Amino acid sequence: MDFLNGFVALSNFVLIPAIAYGSQLALGALGVTLIYGILRFSNFAHGDTMAFGAMVAVLVTWWFQGMGLSLGPLPTALLALPFAILGTMALVLITDRMVYRFYRTQKAKPVILVIVSMGVMFVMNGVVRFIIGPNDQKFLDGERFIISVREFKQMTGLREGLAIKTTQGLTVVVAVICVIALFWFMNRTRTGKSMRAYSDNEDLALLSGINPERVVMYTWMIVAALTAIAGTLYGLDKTFKPFVYFMLLLPIFASAIVGGLGSPLGAIAGGYIVAFSEVMITYAWKKVLTYWMPESLEPDGLVQLLSTDYKFAVSFVILIVVLLFKPTGIFKGKSV
Amino acid sequence: MKKLLMASAATALMAGAAHAEDVKIGVILGFTGPIESLTPAMAGGAEVAMKEVTDSGKLLGGATVTPVRADSTCIDAGAATAAAERLITSEGVKGIMGADCSGVTGAVLANVAVPNGVVMISPSATSPALSSAEDNGLFFRTSPSDARQGQVLATVLMERGFKSAAITYTNNDYGKGLSDSIAAAFEAAGGEVTTIAAHEDGKADYSAEVGALAAAGGDILIVAGYVDQGGPGVIRAALDTGAFDTFALPDGMIGSALEEAFGDEIEGSIGTVPGSDAADASMVKEKVSATGADASGPYVGESYDAAALIMLAMQAAGSSDPSAYSGKIMDVANAPGEKIMAGELDKALELIAAGTEIDYVGATAVELIGPGEAAGGYREIVIEGGKITTAQYR
């Protein structure tokens, strides 16, 4: 019984939040990794593109709510998701046409493109704040919980409770669907194959008649879909606030680099590695250990390795360690 | 001849204007930042007092009082200092109603008010550290120090049978000072503080913070934060994970935003806000509501009183010069003298002009002690039926 109680407490505070957070990071890191693999630069504007996508979702959700549309127990934001994806696609394609294409035709060095993307980041940041303001916005509706703590306790009679939020379940399901769809697209379709060919060897791909502008366009569209979905899911699960997406940039890049930049599989693994390390290192293990340890060994202190204030420091440390010892990441991506 | 007439008329007008002085009083509050939903009503409270005095036409022989608003941002000491500097040097204010949050108040006091010799009365800076700040007798506050709030909250907790508590505070002067005083008072009263952890404002997700607090456990979670910032996020995460379901909420967490966000989800939670039943702030709140601001938050009456004290002291000193009237503030605020309630500033000005002593009670039963801070009456609130209701006054 003690073991079960401990496991439930661990799931409630560590496993479930970390899986949901990891899925959000994985979707974000997939976008970063695709851009890096195919367009060959680190896109710093990624966080703010997520914010833009989520913002469109918020606005459309409000509009739907105003009209009385809803999905019953599911959040209305799911209905708004296609609009968010289209809006984000429009934004990134316009940005590419107006900014990135100029540098691409000049064959600018990746480091120049990185700086350019920082400029784009500031502009997008401003656009989002200008449209929706810098504050928290609420757009979650529908049923809050799949299982709430009280229901779980009644069901099982355990002392510890377990809550699974609808948004957490949704995040994982949507992330799995996205990943399957992405891999199917990359491995089975003609466009996907041409994208991989372009990523592997640009010159060879051009020689075999692949249209580079089309590859670039499809890449941006896929990335836009991923970012809009990741941004909206994060906003639903946590809260929508423009500045928060800017801060997400660090864990997202850490995930992409840990997994190996350019490797989609690596981005997913990286997302979960970063999420689990952040949550587990800042979690106070006292409660779980009290259940699991024999009475004589029960801890007095909180058994917390790092204060929660240092959550982002964990991503930093992971980033530095990986760059120092294994710059290509776990899945042998391109070195940075 | 025509020119001469014009000139003399103009001179007469100017002389008239010079006679009825226009006194400017600065209102420095965080109109942007973590308590931005509370400040419009606070400024409104101060402006109600100023309008009352102007309308009476009895201050210093018919002076008018004009409020000048400036943004303290609540958290950015540099911005607040610059705003206060502008009020004094370019607007020429004779006194400052403000600032609001403890950190910026200390900064404005040390960098602007003391060097320029301007009186400052804060309606809401409650950090215990301000009691011992170097102020040359220029700084007062109509709210009590948090050392007092800590004692009151600890008493409430013990009386309601909460024997152990976890504390989380917003990581700044206000939060730290308050959580220290609550922890000290609660432990002195025999309670057990399981853990004290800071939380940063403006994060998307507080589940990690709540995880640590939940591991430490406790009957109740004390959230010494802000209602427009991280506070509701912490409560939301605690409710979602089932870590805590009742909360103890000091003044910064009490506001209508709390009711809107949680309703009856935090049924039975308790809180403390400065307030007193010896005085009635409803008249001020009604007038503020009439201007369209949301007057349900705290410190509206305190703001009215802060502004009123500045003007009554001017009347008592017969001058709007801060160095002349700063010494009179304690006199008008405390006994002996005739009691003055909120809305009776007209009568107070008349009495002072006639040489009678007054004891200003105002909207919040003002009684200044020690280094010029309110003695501290508190309203104990409890969340019942999803609404903030008053349990009793302490």
- A209 Ramachandran zone, left/alpha/beta (phi>0; psi -120 to 50): left
CB B116 within 8 A of CB B91: no
Q: How far are the Cα atoms of B16, B94, B157, B324, B353 from residue B319, in angstroms, in the given order? A: 18, 10, 47, 7, 12
Q: What is the nearest CA distance from B344 to chain A, expressed in angstroms?
A: 40
Over 90: is that where the pLDDT of A99 sits?
Answer: yes
Say which of B198, B204, B216 has its CB closest to residue A302.
B216
The pLDDT, as a whole number, for residue B378 is: 86
**A68 CB contacts (<8 Å, ≥6 apart)?**
none
Q: Which residues of B fall within a CB distance of 8 Å from A155?
A: none
The pLDDT, as a whole number, for residue A327 is: 86
User: Do residue A308 and residue B212 have CB atoms under 8 angstroms apart?
Assistant: yes
* Residue pLDDT tens, chain B, 394 long: 566 656 555 555 554 444 568 999 999 999 988 888 889 999 999 999 999 999 999 898 889 999 999 999 998 999 999 999 999 999 999 999 989 998 999 999 999 999 999 999 999 988 888 888 889 899 999 988 888 888 889 999 999 999 999 999 998 888 988 999 999 999 999 989 999 999 988 888 888 889 889 888 889 999 999 888 888 899 999 998 888 989 999 988 888 888 888 888 888 899 998 777 777 788 888 889 888 888 888 889 999 999 999 999 999 999 999 999 999 999 899 888 888 988 899 999 999 999 888 999 888 888 888 888 888 788 898 998 888 888 888 7
Please give the residue of chain A at the shortest CA–CA distance from B168. Answer: A308
Instruction: Please state which CATH number belongs to domain A2-139+171-325.
Output: 1.10.3470
Q: Which one of B194, B241, B244, B262 would you mutate to disrupt binding with A, by most A Cβ within 10 Å of its Cβ?
A: B241
CATH class of B22-145+279-336: alpha beta
User: Do residue B207 and residue A150 have CB atoms under 8 angstroms apart?
Assistant: no
Question: pLDDT tens, A319-335?
Answer: 899 989 988 888 876 65
Over 50: is that where the pLDDT of A37 sits?
Answer: yes
Q: Which residues of A fall within a CB distance of 8 Å from B32?
A: none
B241 touches chain A (CB under 8 A): yes
| Mean pLDDT within A142-152 | 88
Q: Which residue has the tokens 């979602």?
A: B240
- Order of strands across the sheet that contains B64-71: B64-71, B22-29, B95-98, B119-122, B139-141, B373-374, B368-369
Q: What is the nearest CA distance from B84 to chain A, expressed in angstroms?
A: 25
User: Do residue A309 and residue B198 have CB atoms under 8 angstroms apart?
Assistant: yes
**Radius of gyration in angstroms for the set of CA atoms belonging to chain A, rounded to a whole number:** 21
β-pairing verdict for B119-122 and B368-369: unpaired
Longest dimension (CA), chain B: 91
Span between the terminal Cα atoms of chain A, in Å: 49
Spell A19-56 as b/e; 16+ CB within 10 A means b: bbbbbbbbbbbbbbbbbbbbbebbbbbbbbbbbbbbbb
Question: pLDDT tens, A125-134?
Answer: 999 999 998 8
CA atoms of B383 and A133, how far apart (whole Å) = 31
CA atoms of A107 and A113, how far apart (whole Å) = 10
Over 70: is that where the pLDDT of A53 sits?
Answer: yes
Helices (H), B34-137: 39-56, 77-86, 102-108, 114-116
Question: pLDDT tens, A267-297?
Answer: 999 999 999 999 999 888 888 888 888 888 8
Window A:257-296, CB contacts with B under 8 Å: 278-279, 282-288
The neighbouring-strand residues paired with B392 are: B380
Q: Which one of B203, B206, B210, B236 would you mutate to disrupt binding with A, by most A Cβ within 10 Å of its Cβ?
A: B203
Please give the residue of chain B at the shortest CA–CA distance from A311. Answer: B208
Q: Which one of A10, A13, A167, A289 would you mutate to disrupt binding with B, by most B Cβ within 10 Å of its Cβ?
A: A13
Percent of chain A at pLDDT > 70 equals 99
Q: Which long-range contacts (CB under 8 A, 24 or more apart) does A148-155 make?
A: A148/B242, A149/A12, A149/B241, A149/B242, A150/B242, A152/A8
User: Do residue B202 and residue A241 have CB atoms under 8 angstroms apart?
Assistant: yes
Q: Which residues of A fall within a CB distance of 8 Å from B243?
A: 13
The pLDDT, as a whole number, for residue B6 is: 61
Instruction: Count CB neighbours of A129 within 10 A.
Output: 16
User: Do residue A13 and residue B214 have CB atoms under 8 angstroms apart?
Assistant: yes
Instruction: Please state which CATH number belongs to domain B147-276+377-393.
Output: 3.40.50.2300
Q: Which residues of A fall within a CB distance of 8 Å from B234?
A: none
CA atoms of B314 and B63, how far apart (whole Å) = 11
A149 touches chain B (CB under 8 A): yes
CB B317 within 8 A of CB B327: yes
Mean pLDDT rounded to a whole number for chain A: 91
* Domain ranges across chain A: 2-139+171-325
Spell B237-269 as b/e; 16+ CB within 10 A means b: bbbbbbbbbbbbbbbbbbbbbbbebbeeebeeb
Lowest mean pLDDT among A217-221, A246-250, A273-277, B334-338: B334-338
Backbone angles phi, psi at A331, to 5 degrees: -95, 25
Q: How far are the Cα atoms of A260, A272, A317 from residue A277, in angstroms, in the given order? A: 17, 8, 10
B190 touches chain A (CB under 8 A): no
User: Do residue A239 and residue B202 have CB atoms under 8 angstroms apart?
Assistant: no
CB A234 within 8 A of CB A17: no
For the record, the structure tokens of A312 come out as 């982002």
Please give the distance of CA B383 from its chain centroid, rounded to a whole number: 22
Using pLDDT thresholds of 50, 70 and 90, give the confidence band for residue A194: very high
Q: What is the full DSSP assignment across A272-303? A: HHHHHHHHHHHSB-HHHHHHHS-GGG--SS--
A17 touches chain B (CB under 8 A): yes
The pLDDT, as a whole number, for residue A250 is: 92
The pLDDT, as a whole number, for residue A326 is: 87
Say which of A149, A284, A308 has its CB closest to residue B242.
A149
User: Do residue B241 and residue A163 have CB atoms under 8 angstroms apart?
Assistant: yes
Window A:18-57, CB contacts with B under 8 Å: 21
Q: Which residues of A fall within a CB distance of 8 Å from B168?
A: none
Q: Which long-range contacts (CB under 8 A, 24 or more apart) does A190-197 make?
A: A191/A215, A191/A218, A195/A38, A195/A219
Using pLDDT thresholds of 50, 70 and 90, give the confidence band for residue A336: very low
Using pLDDT thresholds of 50, 70 and 90, give the confidence band for residue A311: confident
β-pairing verdict for B220-224 and B164-170: parallel
CA atoms of B204 and A23, how far apart (whole Å) = 16
The pLDDT, as a whole number, for residue B33 is: 85
The pLDDT, as a whole number, for residue B167 is: 94
Lowest mean pLDDT among A37-46, A187-196, B49-58, B257-266: B257-266
Q: How far are the Cα atoms of B20, B21, B61, B159 from residue B15, in angstroms, in the given order? A: 9, 11, 14, 64
The pLDDT, as a whole number, for residue B16 is: 45
CB B358 within 8 A of CB B351: yes
Q: Which one of A137, A167, A281, A308 would you mutate to disrupt binding with B, by most B Cβ within 10 Å of its Cβ?
A: A308
Q: Which residues of A fall within a CB distance of 8 Å from B242?
A: 12, 148-150, 161, 163
Q: What is the nearest CA distance from A14 to chain B, expressed in angstroms?
A: 8
The pLDDT, as a whole number, for residue B17 is: 45
**B257 CB contacts (<8 Å, ≥6 apart)?**
B37, B227, B228, B232
Question: Range(s) for CATH 3.40.50.2300 in chain B?
Answer: 22-145+279-336, 147-276+377-393
Please give the residue of chain B at the shortest CA–CA distance from A168. Answer: B240
